[in-house]
Structure 1
Amino acid sequence: MKRKITLSRRKTIFAWICVLPVLVIRLWTTAYPVVAMSYYSLLDYDLIRRKKEFAGLQNFKNLAKNKQFLESLSFTVKFTVISICFIIVLGVALALLMKQNFGGRKLIRTVALIPWGLSMIVVSIAALWAFDDTYGIVNDLIRRIGFEGYHFTWLADKSGAQVAVIIVNIWKNVSFFAIIMLAAFQGIPGELFESARIDGASNWKILFHVSLPYVMRTFIIMIIFVGVSQINSFEIVYAMTKGGPGTTTSLLAYRLYMEATKSMNYGMASAITMVMFLVTAVYGIIGLRIYRKVDY
């Protein structure tokens, strides 16, 4: 018995020795940035004014009065909520379409992967040209379908720029959501569908009472994953609109970038980082709590 316990302990110790370096690195790369940003957010740290002194919660008070930050916060909420809603609906619809058995299914699955495989920077630069009011394909397509003489300066108009950014973001992320949901749908036992049809259930009832409940855990995890990525989006605004016109399409991550690299105000940038961290953490915690309550 002593020999078996000793062998078991040796295996446990060896396992911890193997895992410990990764845990230390992970802890360092996760905990250190959070602690550092928390510290800097309490400082009046401005490289232009060459000032670095303790300011308490003053940075957060300034953010509450900062119109640019509030506009960025407002657009980030709008951008995230609208994107998540459309990504969910279109992603589930695309997954169900790709699940059907028909000719050309493999081609559709391949084409659906293209947006996911492209870099967001590449997509954003292409979208910048697509929404150009003079040479862009978007205005040209609208004119071709019957709206002759149509001309709209998408990226120079506040609402137009916001709509354009959200459309491109949805197009880029729908395919990833759809592919994961397709894998989840394909894991549903066929017996459940047969039983539901024998009971006289329609396709809509099968979807809402069989398919979605069965994949609900995957569904919620994907909503958490997509939501976190939307809250922290940066590349699409950086490459497509530079936050313009004015600051109407400036997401929180882009406002953080501007404060840190243009204004050189590290204290304010750290405060924005903490706001993003807290919003992301709250969103993730709520999502995980819902996830744990799901039981099928």
Structure 2
Amino acid sequence: MMLYVGLAASLFVGVLLGLLGGGGSILTVPLLVYVLGVEPRTAIAMSLVVVGVTSASGALFHARAGRVRWRTALVFGAGGMAGAFLGGRINKLIPSTALLLLFAGVMVAAAVAMLRRKEAPPPSASTAAPVERTLPVARVLMQGVAVGLLSGLVGAGGGFLIVPALALVGLPMPVATATSLVVIALQCTAGFMGHLGHVQLPWALTGAVLVAAMTGSLVGGRLSGFVSPASLRRGFAVFVLATAAFLLVAQAPEPVHTLLAQAGAWPWLIAATGVGLPLTLWRLRMARQR
């Protein structure tokens, strides 16, 4: 029964990827751990496979449209692959609980980035065929190493960090989004290689989750023209924050679990985090605009 629930959730994650162009992969590790019962280290390695292959398929679509800036992708990707491989090797040295807590922190950062993200202007001829500028190779490499290290450690694609980093070096937002998919695919490949030797993947389950996610991605891509990306992104960010709250509470010491269970506070804590935090961020943003 839980297998079918997990595959349905994987399909949902894929739909989000297709609708948002990134971000949905942040739910892959919690899905594998808490719905399908996969051990955290194995779930992180599985997530790298699912996110990497799904990103590669999306990158091919954008490459045909001429939106990928290959030189930037390869420079950032080289740093990302080095960092991701290192993160994959370090992963075995960190306790599973600490990895899940780190992942919860990454989820919060991703949700905040989605709440703060501004909509890109409609693509023009200049974004479809970008002109190369001078690339700050050293800076892009170091950014790639930092993002890749995080990706290899916790299994997230890191698109919410890669896209702003690429935008900072002068790429228009549609080009940065397309180029980030190449970077994600490269660093997920290196991160998975870093996990080889200390993780054994259930390949049948990995393949099933991957097929469901890719199918959902195709469906989401077709639905993207009928849904407001900004509204969807904000709602999804709230959901990610609520999931992060669940992860943090789930990894709390046993006395905290007992206290919360006795008080019946689990749903209230998750709701307060998932709704209260984005509301606070929105209020602060409105205050700054005034």
Scaled to the shorter chain, the TM-score interval is under 0.3
Point out the structure with the larger helix share: 2
Max radius of gyration: which structure? Answer: 1
TM-score, normalization by structure 2: 0.28
TM-score, normalization by structure 1: 0.27
